[in-house]
Copies of this chain bind each other. A is one copy, B any other.
Amino acid sequence: MIFVAGPFMWLAMSSFPTRLLEGYQSFMSGRYTAERNRYRDLAEAGQEPHTLVIACCDSRAAPETVFDCGPGELFVVRNVANLVPPYAPDGNFHSTSAALEFAVQSLKIRQIVVLGHGRCGGIKAALDVDAAPLSPGDFIGQWMGLLKPAAQQIKDSVLLTSGERQFALEHISIRNSIANLRTFPCVKILEDRGKMALHGAWFDISTGELWVMNSQTGDFSRPETSLA
């Protein structure tokens, strides 16, 4: 690990982003002041989040914002397109699997939500028939390869509009992540015992609507319409 100072311009860029420092000041004078004791307690007692959320990196779909959750509530994994890879104890490092294991085994979280969203760039990339790799490493191509069979099937659904194909794969991807969660023995066993609940949800950035997955059919609908 080496820190090499770059040329002048780099130095100019090296101070911490002003926008973030201002935001932090706002946090300190606002939320933190209001919830000071809660933060202290959370630090002392440790976190006991009620839900693991697997969400997308997208800047418009932060789970704490969509669910208006405060500190200590959500343990959050965020990767491109909210994917969960299948269980693969192969000795490689697996970011999402590690977080899942930590959430379930160490934090004893018993409620998992896979949160997808509309206009997902990862899903769009998976459906792009002419996509060239973004870089020689093609990391996005490899990562979205987790959805490859589904993406191929949807690409072939030429009677759907491009918007409908995107919508469909966003929903399929959530179901796929949930199915992959069940390949992890710790999840499967707990669910079979009635001690673990897996949920899917999809956030429409444009309208602000939250669509919730019916656990039995896999269909998505808005809770205000489906729950009445």
Contacts and interface: CB of A to CB of B under 8 A. Distances in A.
Interface of A: 1-3, 5-10, 12-17, 19-21, 23-24, 26-28, 30-32, 36, 39-40, 42-44, 46-47, 49-51, 57-60, 62, 64-80, 83, 85, 87, 89, 91-103, 105-107, 111, 113, 118-119, 121-122, 125, 134-140, 142-146, 150, 153-154, 156-164, 168, 171-172, 175-176, 178-179, 184-186, 191-192, 194-197, 199, 201, 205-210, 212, 215-219, 223, 225, 227-228
Q: Which of A12, A94, A154, A171 has the most CB of B within 10 A?
A: A94
B150 A159 contact: yes
Contacts of A161: 217-219
Nearest to A35: B208
Contact of A219 (B43, B164, B179, B195): B164
Nearest to A78: B78
A192 B6 contact: yes
Contacts of A12: 194
Contacts of A118: 43
Given A197-B13, A199-B17, A217 B59 contact: no
A121 B76 CA distance: 14
A186 B150 CA distance: 30
B75 A102 contact: no
Contacts of A144: 98
Given A105-B135, A163-B217, 9 more contacts: A5-B216, A17-B50, A39-B60, A62-B62, A64-B65, A71-B205, A76-B78, A98-B140, A135-B185
B69 A28 contact: no
Contact of A157 (B71, B157, B176): B157
